Chains A and B, each alone.
Chain A
Amino acid sequence: MEKELTKLFEIFIASALINNFVFTRFLGLCIFFGVTKKVETAVGMSITFTAVMMISAALSWVIFNLVMVPLDLTFLKIVVFIGVIAAFVQSSDTIMRKVSPGLYYKLGVYLALISTNCIILAVPLINAGEHYTFLEGITLGLGSGLGFALALVIMASIREKIEIADVPMPFRGLPIAFVTTGLIALAFTGFAGIITS
């Protein structure tokens, strides 16, 4: 039991900090550069993302291990995962709009951006590749989501300052954001030594 907990904790820390999706695995960059202009949007986005990542990790784990593995259909995983995530996001969009319009107004607007995003799809694919158990899979979703949230908030706070700085003309917009991200990534390489096994 204790060993399992340690493993879960390791996966959590590794996915949130060491293998941070943005800074080490380079996933979700489109969203990362797209929504990090304001801290407020970044926070809303990261809540939605974390929730969707955990739920889609759970859903796709069930389908992958209970349906696809017994039927020997694992080669279809890309097609199936995309379908599962798109269907889930669409339905939660509709349900949220009916059940709680207030929450939908705050967070639901980001759902439309999610359905075919590489960062969401990466979680089930990694889970399937590493043969994680159900709990480990969800932990990976949670850790990656929180790591992504951390990245978004850090970046958004910096970019709010860059907006009012005098940046050389060719660097305006994305190039300076890229260089900044590079420097944050350098700081994140410092986490690499946390877990030694």
Chain B
Amino acid sequence: MEATNPQKIDYWKVTLSGIFKENAIFRLAISLCPAIAVTTGLRTGVLMGVAVVFVNVMVNITVSAIRAFIHPRIRMPIFMLIISGWVTVADLSMAAFAREAYKQMGLYIQLIVAFASIFTRAEIFASKNKIMPSFFDGIGMGVGFMFALIVISFFRELLGKGTLWGVSIIGAKPLLIMLLPTGGFIATGLLMAFFNWIDIRFYGGKGAGGASGH
């Protein structure tokens, strides 16, 4: 069924490429700041991921919808305006509905506005494509980002607190260092190396994930 419908395959490809091939954190290594800041627990990691998916999708839709009216010369400021507008929406909703988590990660929600990954998607994809592909591209990039946050925060919460989503799993705190900033950096580094290793071992790649540096 799907094979006969080229449009559908296209959407899948667009979505999946954002999750795996162009995963913002492990492969492209951009927008790293929150990856470490909010991943001390699964809950904050997921919340941040949801906020990023929301902003990513809404920005892509908006940019795509008005792309015919944006003069190329002033597209950068327009994109910034759209992104910061949607980040404000996410910021205020988070402050209203998730107060506890917001106290912990409020600054990082506001700083979604400086995400290179969202800006580049608006520039590379949404400003050249129709609304539906842009929507799926936003979902893909956002979910890929969320996936990375979940993986990192899974290991950090499990090893640091011995819990998952606040529920005790191990009953002890095996590696308290995982909750410190140090643990965040080291966990991300090891996971990145792991993804590189998979790439080298099974796909014959060069393990270039993150080699570019920004």
Contact B190 A175 (CB under 8 A): yes
Contact A26 B111 (CB under 8 A): no
**Nearest CB on A from B120, distance (A):** 11
The answer to whether B194 has its CB under 8 Å from any CB of chain A is yes
Contact A78 B196 (CB under 8 A): no
Contact A75 B190 (CB under 8 A): no
Contacts of A185 in B (CB 8 A): 180-182, 185
Contact A30 B189 (CB under 8 A): no
The answer to whether A94 has its CB under 8 Å from any CB of chain B is no
Within 8 A of B (CB), among A6-50: 23-31, 33-34, 37
Contacts of B37 in A (CB 8 A): 25-27
Q: Cα distance A26–B200 when bound, in Å? A: 29
Contact A33 B214 (CB under 8 A): yes
**Nearest CB on B from A155, distance (A):** 11
Instruction: From A182, A188, A189, name the one whose CB has the most chain B CB atoms within 10 angstroms.
Output: A182
Determine which of B34, B77, B114, B182 lies in contact with A186 in the assembled complex, contact meaning CB atoms within 8 Å.
B182
Q: Cα distance A171–B199 when bound, in Å? A: 12
Residues of B within 8 Å of A, CB-based: how many?
Answer: 49
Q: Cα distance A186–B184 when bound, in Å? A: 11
Contacts of B77 in A (CB 8 A): 83, 86
Using a CB–CB distance below 8 Å, which chain A residues touch chain B? 23-31, 33-34, 37, 75-76, 78-79, 82-83, 86, 116-118, 121-122, 125-126, 129, 168-179, 181-183, 185-186, 188-189
The 9 closest A-B pairs by CB, nearest first: A178-B189, A174-B210, A182-B185, A34-B214, A182-B186, A173-B211, A175-B193, A118-B114, A170-B197
9 contacts between A and B (CB under 8 A): A26-B34, A26-B37, A83-B80, A116-B119, A121-B114, A125-B107, A179-B190, A182-B186, A189-B181
